[in-house]
Amino acid sequence: MTFEEIRNDEQQYMMHTYGRFQTALVSGKGAVAKDVDGKEYIDFTSGIGVNCLGYCDEGWVKAVSEQAGRIQHISNLYYSPLQTEVSKKLCELTGFDKVFLCNSGAEANECAIKIARKYSFDKYGQGRQKIVTLVNSFHGRTVTTLAATGQDVFHNFFFPFTEGFAYAEANNIDSVKKCIDNEVCAVFIELVQGEGGVMPLDKEFVAEIEKICSEKDILLMVDEVQTGMSRTGAVYCYQNYGIKPDVITSAKGLGGGVPIGACLCSEKLAEVMTAGTHGTTFGGNPIACAAAKEVLSRVTTPEFLAEVRAKGEYIREKLQTMPNVKEVRGMGMMIGIVTEKDNAKEIAGKCVANGLLILTAKTLLRLLPPLNITYEEIDRGLNILKTVMED
């Protein structure tokens, strides 16, 4: 098939839910993707933070393909050694007590929201159901996670949205305090807002929230769907903040390219979700778990994390000297670039035409390179970006 044919069929047979870049990707190796015409692209996206080991990493391919040949799916009516291995590893890496496995970020967040409401219901009865999230957050596309998302553009068309969310301003503790009344059961935040424009929260702001939450028995829940899996230089970003949330959610990079999500809770919440209160057909699928097991064993070592931090620094330093760069922000290998000309969308399109895959977030350029990208690949990508930025 030619690119034209693919694009025409997409127009004809698929719902038009995505604005797509003008390329059709068909294969890849490491941080290099190839399109249907054989053209190569340096990948600074990981497919939006998913392919944390790049394309078709040898160990990852082996884990997934061997598992596909062993047993591809079992229902959650049976025990699964892969589910227990992944859950155990997640708990050991974080100190959380229990894991629920699902298939996406939105689903992991649905689980977190249900835990918060049921914990409060079990302990205090009805009427304590409100969850405070932040303006410019992003928590997913289901009706409830859209409601949790603190951006007005997402609160349209699909009425009625799930009730019980209040939105506070990021890095403004008074705004959080204003939202907190005796109906609040949880505060749910991203530590570096991803879709909202690669915006890290201040440490003091987060510490204040943790303090308020623990005083009032309000759960502190962190959406680590984008920031997790070593993206910010710690296995989970909360570890960079020195806090101990009650719940975190994970997805995107967790399976290195296959769908898997997880919701982790602390010991005090261990028994909140009882038999029959939650479930999913595909959650903890053996192939997804085999992938996650491989990813978890690879990206969480101290040496790997040090590499992520070093590469993030290296990229940031180089960006600082590039034309059209007004501000570079983010953490580890989650990097946002404010452009002088406020032309991120245009730059991203031109990068693709020049052989570099790059993301945007709001009005910023956003980089989420594979965590194991080589310095040589980084340089190749940055050179393309520089050429486009000079234009």
Ligand X SMILES: *Cc1c(COP(=O)(O)O)cnc(C)c1O
Residues that bind ligand X (CB under 6 A): 104-106, 109, 138-140, 190, 194-195, 223, 225-226, 251-252
Q: Write out the two tokens for 106.
A: 């939105």
Q: For residue 204, give the amino acid letter.
A: E
Phi, psi of 9 (to 5 degrees): -65, -35
Which residue has tokens 């749910």? 188
Q: Which helix (H) or strand (E) holds 311?
A: helix 302-320
Phi, psi of 114 (to 5 degrees): -65, -40
Q: Which is nearer to ligand X, 142 or 354 (CB)?
A: 142
Minimum CB–partner distance for residue 391 and ligand X (Å): 30
Helix (H, G, I), strand (E, B) or coil at 184: strand
Minimum CB–partner distance for residue 55 and ligand X (Å): 19
Q: Is the dihedral of CA 172, 177, 178, 184 positive or negative?
A: positive
- CA 305, CA 324: separation in Å to the nearest integer? 30
- CA 338, CA 285: separation in Å to the nearest integer? 39
Q: Which is nearer to ligand X, 252 or 298 (CB)?
A: 252
Nearest by Cα to 240 from 253, 224, 217, 218 = 224
Minimum CB–partner distance for residue 124 and ligand X (Å): 27
Ranked by CB distance to ligand X, the top (closest) residue is: 105
- CA 67, CA 79: separation in Å to the nearest integer? 16
Minimum CB–partner distance for residue 361 and ligand X (Å): 9
Q: Is the dihedral of CA 229, 230, 236, 237 positive or negative?
A: negative
Minimum CB–partner distance for residue 384 and ligand X (Å): 25
Q: Which is nearer to ligand X, 194 or 256 (CB)?
A: 194
Minimum CB–partner distance for residue 380 and ligand X (Å): 27
